[in-house]
Chain A
Amino acid sequence: MDRDLLIHKYLHQTLTNEEQMALNELLESDPEFKANFELEKDLHTVLIDVGKESLKQQFVDFENQEQEQQFEKTSPSFLRYAIAACLIIGLSIFASKYFINTTSTDDLFAENFVAYRNIVLPIERGEGIDSPEKEAFFKYEMKEYQAAINAFETEFSRTQQPYYLFYTANAYLALGDTKNAITLLEKHQRFKDDFYEKSRWYLALAYLKEKNQNKSVMLLEEISASDGYHHKEASVLLNAIR
């Protein structure tokens, strides 16, 4: 059996009894394999430790942000403007209630969602559709989303190219099927391919449409804090949500 796969399965607790026996035999009979195995086990522990540190820092940063917001609310300089601000806020609420329709998450989604353009196999005018991949993207460009979904799914099974997950999710979003889109985008996140950042933006939009504001806001905060795809749009959307 493939030794890499055996170690991978051991580290992620998916060994069958038979595989466990094969691993034990290798560990007993092959000292070099045993030395490598020990290194890889240590590396697994080390990477979890790195992950713990990064998670801890993430929580500390979150609490610092919370404190800053709290401080801004209670600092004396803020108080000087508090009454004026209250008036403005009050008037805005009054205006929004009586003159402006409150923007719902559905509206925000509709304002921000545009199915991501086909950059994998752009179809030129007059060009023949000579492959199943091109046909799938052609249907997507023609906004025949259900047909595109079927074709993308077939292509994904055949090629395992993760961008098909991204485009299938876009087609689902265009059809208003947010649940399927979220499942696919979450799956796509694991691949960290060239569409990774774009996928995060669409996932944030999908969460928003699904009224999962916590997840949406958190992703948008991460996107807006980066220099990546749609970081400015993410800031604007965050302000609109809040």
Chain B
Amino acid sequence: MKNEPSITTLRTGDSVAYQVIYEGYRDAFIAFASKYDIDQDAILDVYQESMIALYENVMKGKVKDFSSTIKTYLFGIGKFKLYEQLRAQKKMVLVDDFNDQETMEEVETTALTERQKALKQHFQKLGDRCRNILELFYLNGLKIKEIMIAANYENENTVKAQKSRCLKQLKTMMNPQNYG
């Protein structure tokens, strides 16, 4: 891939940018993993899980910048996952192929807590306008003024008031024992 997407673009969660990376390095990863006794479906599972880990690490700020390229980082995660799978199946591996793995913390994706699972269910029940404003602010990283312009709000105070109403709705929907 000639031009990898920038970390700034990736931080906004742009699905196109992640797809470009996925397609850009897919064949190279399959070619690497095919040296081992592992079928293509399993390779693709590993590759997809690695992309998801990349997304999560970028969005949670675990990656501030890529020390070399996104490809190196992605393959680091992929190789670790592949190694774990092969080791679990007691298959032979070339140690040299796996000596640039990422740390365990960067490889594993995290599961939601029970409280977060409940919050997710309630979030999905919110109206479009609420879901949109909360996504723009909390996920895509737009500031209040940028949301005002993007979503056609009258002024910044209206955005703040709407966001606050949506959060209040979520709080009310949650079990008061969790958020008293």
Contact = CB atoms under 8 A, between A and B. Distances in A.
Chain A interface size, under 10 / 10 to 19 / 20 to 34 / 35 or more: 35 or more
Nearest to A194: B152
A38 B180 CA distance: 12
A226 B18 CA distance: 19
Given A47-B138, A59-B48, A212-B3, A42 B119 contact: yes
Interface of B: 1-3, 9, 11-16, 18-20, 22-24, 44, 48, 51-52, 55-56, 59-61, 64, 109, 112-113, 115-116, 119-120, 123-124, 134-146, 149-152, 160, 163, 167, 170-171, 174, 179-180
A36 B167 contact: yes
A5 interface: yes
B32 to A, nearest CB: 18
Contacts of A59: 19, 22, 48, 51
Interface of A: 4-5, 8, 11-13, 35-36, 38-40, 42-52, 54-56, 58-60, 62-63, 160-162, 186, 189-194, 212, 214-215, 218-219, 222
Nearest to B58: A48
A8 B137 CA distance: 7
7 contacts: A12-B11, A47-B138, A52-B52, A55-B51, A59-B19, A62-B19, A218-B19
A12 B142 CA distance: 10
Given A39-B170, A160-B149, A186-B9, A50 B16 contact: no
Contact of B123 (A12, A40, A46, A58): A46
Contact of A55 (B15, B23, B113, B170): B15
B15 A58 contact: yes
B16 A161 contact: no
Interface centre among B124, B142, B144, B149 (most CB of A within 10 A): B149
B105 to A, nearest CB: 16
A113 B3 CA distance: 24
- Tell which of A38, A43, A54, A214 has the most Cβ of chain B within 10 Å: A43
Given A39-B171, A46-B123, A189-B14, A63 B55 contact: no
Contacts of B48: 56, 59-60
B135 A8 contact: no
B19 A58 contact: yes
Contacts of B1: 214
The residue in B16, B20, B143, B163 that gathers the most chain A C-beta atoms within 10 A of its C-beta is: B16
A40 B171 CA distance: 10
Given A42-B113, A191-B146, A192-B151, 20 more contacts: A5-B143, A5-B144, A8-B143, A39-B119, A39-B170, A39-B171, A39-B179, A43-B119, A43-B167, A45-B112, A47-B123, A47-B135, A50-B124, A55-B15, A59-B19, A63-B44, A160-B145, A161-B149, A193-B150, A218-B23
Given A55-B55, A56-B52, A160-B149, A218 B20 contact: yes
Contacts of A36: 167
A35 B180 CA distance: 8
B171 A55 contact: no
Contacts of A48: 55-56, 59-60, 139
A44 B145 CA distance: 19
A43 B138 CA distance: 8
B167 to A, nearest CB: 7
B24 A214 contact: yes
Ranked nearest first, the 3 interchain pairs of A and B with the lowest CB-CB distance are A13-B61, A191-B150, A47-B139
A193 B16 CA distance: 18
Nearest to B59: A48
A11 B138 contact: yes
A46 B19 contact: no
A47 B167 contact: no
B179 A44 contact: no
Contacts of A12: 11, 61, 141
B71 to A, nearest CB: 14
